[in-house]
């Protein structure tokens, strides 16, 4: 059995919550985040896949989520958040602070 298959099986068996956690994709563009508002389930750990579609680096940052990650142009960064209480959590591009978005946990 290949190492990748064995690892996938072990993660699914030993850590079923990791295999089942929701994945949300967000893009950073010149004119802001797409989508600018994302609804996620409250009480669940979330995997955020953040694709930088700009020709310059971006920094996904959120004081409310206590996360920050620099993402090179054309690359995708991953950030894990939660489990979140119901509410609205702001995030922004620290290199372009007017580019803002929200995670809404319900």
pLDDT digits (tens, 9 = 90+) for 59-100: 999 999 999 999 999 999 999 999 999 999 999 999 999 999
Give me the chain's average pLDDT, please: 87
Residue with more model confidence, 20 or 79: 79
- In the chain, the number of structural domains is 1
Domain contains 40 = yes
CATH number, domain with residue 43: 2.60.40.420
Residue with more model confidence, 15 or 64: 64
Domain contains 6 = no
Domain contains 7 = no
Q: Angle at CA 100, nearest 5°, toward 99 and 102?
A: 155
What burial class does residue 28 get, using C-beta atoms within 10 Å of its C-beta: 0-12 exposed, 13-18 middle, 19+ buried?
A: buried
Domain contains 43 = yes
Say what the pLDDT of residue 21 is: 78
The pTM is what?
0.76
CB 52 within 8 A of CB 58: yes
């Amino acid at each position: 059995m290949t190492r990748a298959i064995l690892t996938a099986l072990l993660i699914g068996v030993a850590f079923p919550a990791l295999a089942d956690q929701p994945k949300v994709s967000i893009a950073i563009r010149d004119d802001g985040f797409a989508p600018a508002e994302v609804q996620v389930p409250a009480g669940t750990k979330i995997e955020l896949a953040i694709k930088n579609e700009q020709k310059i680096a971006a920094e996904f940052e959120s004081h409310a989520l206590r996360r920050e990650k620099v993402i090179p142009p054309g690359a995708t960064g991953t950030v894990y958040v939660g489990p979140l209480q119901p509410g609205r959590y702001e995030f922004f591009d620290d290199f372009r602070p007017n580019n803002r978005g929200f995670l809404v946990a319900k």
